[in-house]
């Protein structure tokens, strides 16, 4: 019997790549994103290419009521979720004192609240079935504070901490949780966060969405709790644990600098 993966932020970037990978493995899909039109197009492509079933839901997950609505809709449709990929998220660049508060709140709701609520909604059934895999997309940003992207870095620190904690709680249940921590990746993220000219992206070899998604999928299937993509990113993630906090924060600010 085919398993089913729910993937958020599935219309482009990492989310679309996760959908392609799961479809290639024969998994049915539930795809969630704001743009239902893009999802409908992707649904037709995947069903034709892989012969699977794809159910699409057009929802803005920054809406606090969206996770429960998705959960209830799938109950009505009698669709059981075996894999939950919490991929949806975005960042914003600028000084916190000058930021657009509504955008910061939307970011917190999407990056933190929706991810946490979806996990809470689908987790009990996974435990009851003695099988389930959850992939939460964090970031290498999770390992240090990020001046000029303070809220984004803080949301990803939450995702990492939350994922590690519940992964420990779930030992022996048949359910695993993986926090995927990519570094700079070729997605729509840098455009949305206004980071095209930052030191983070300029002159660096950037991972593709496909590379990161394949890495994340493999680590999720292995039940790995924390998955940092790339040797240099792993090195940086480990080294910040031993460096002075002020130095780590200043280094992060330098990497995000645009001029």
SS (H, E, C) 46-110: HHHHHCCCEEEEECCCCCCCHHHHHHHHHHHCCCCCCEEEECCCCCCCCCHHHCCHHHHHHHHHH
How far apart are alpha carbons 175 and 127 in whole angstroms?
A: 6
Q: Tell whether the torsion through CA atoms of 57, 61, 65 and 67 is positive or negative.
A: positive
Spatial CB neighbours of 200, under 8 Å, sequence gap ≥ 6:
184, 190, 255, 256
108 touches 151 (CB < 8 A)? yes
Q: Which residues are catalytic?
A: 152
How many Cβ atoms sit within 10 Å of the Cβ of residue 121?
Answer: 18
The encoded tokens of residue 60 equal 């803005």
Spatial CB neighbours of 256, under 8 Å, sequence gap ≥ 6:
93, 146, 147, 148, 149, 195, 198, 199, 200
How far apart are alpha carbons 108 and 62 in whole angstroms?
A: 8
């Amino acid at each position: 019997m085919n398993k089913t993966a729910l993937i958020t932020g599935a219309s482009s970037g990492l989310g679309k790549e996760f959908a392609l990978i799961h479809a290639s493995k024969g998994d049915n899909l539930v795809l969630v994103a704001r743009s239902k039109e893009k999802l409908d197009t992707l649904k037709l492509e995947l069903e034709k290419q892989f012969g699977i079933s794809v159910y699409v839901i057009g929802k803005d997950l920054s809406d606090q009521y969206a996770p429960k609505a998705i959960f209830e809709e799938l109950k009505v449709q009698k669709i059981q979720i075996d894999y939950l990929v919490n991929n949806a998220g975005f960042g914003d660049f600028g000084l916190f004192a000058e930021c657009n508060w509504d955008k910061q709140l939307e970011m917190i709701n999407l990056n933190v609240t929706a991810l946490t609520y979806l996990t809470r909604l689908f987790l009990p059934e996974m435990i009851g079935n003695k099988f389930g895999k959850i992939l939460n997309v964090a970031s290498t940003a999770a390992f240090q504070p990020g001046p000029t992207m303070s809220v984004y870095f803080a949301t990803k620190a939450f995702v990492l901490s939350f994922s590690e904690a519940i992964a420990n709680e779930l030992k022996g249940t048949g359910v695993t949780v993986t926090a995927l921590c990519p570094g700079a990746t070729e997605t729509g993220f840098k455009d949305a966060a206004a980071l095209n000219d930052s030191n983070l992206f300029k002159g660096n070899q950037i991972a593709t969405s496909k590379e990161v998604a394949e890495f994340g999928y493999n680590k999720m299937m292995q039940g790995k709790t924390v998955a940092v993509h790339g040797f240099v990113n792993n090195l940086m993630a480990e080294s910040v644990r031993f460096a002075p906090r002020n130095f780590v924060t200043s280094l992060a600010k330098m990497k995000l600098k645009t001029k």
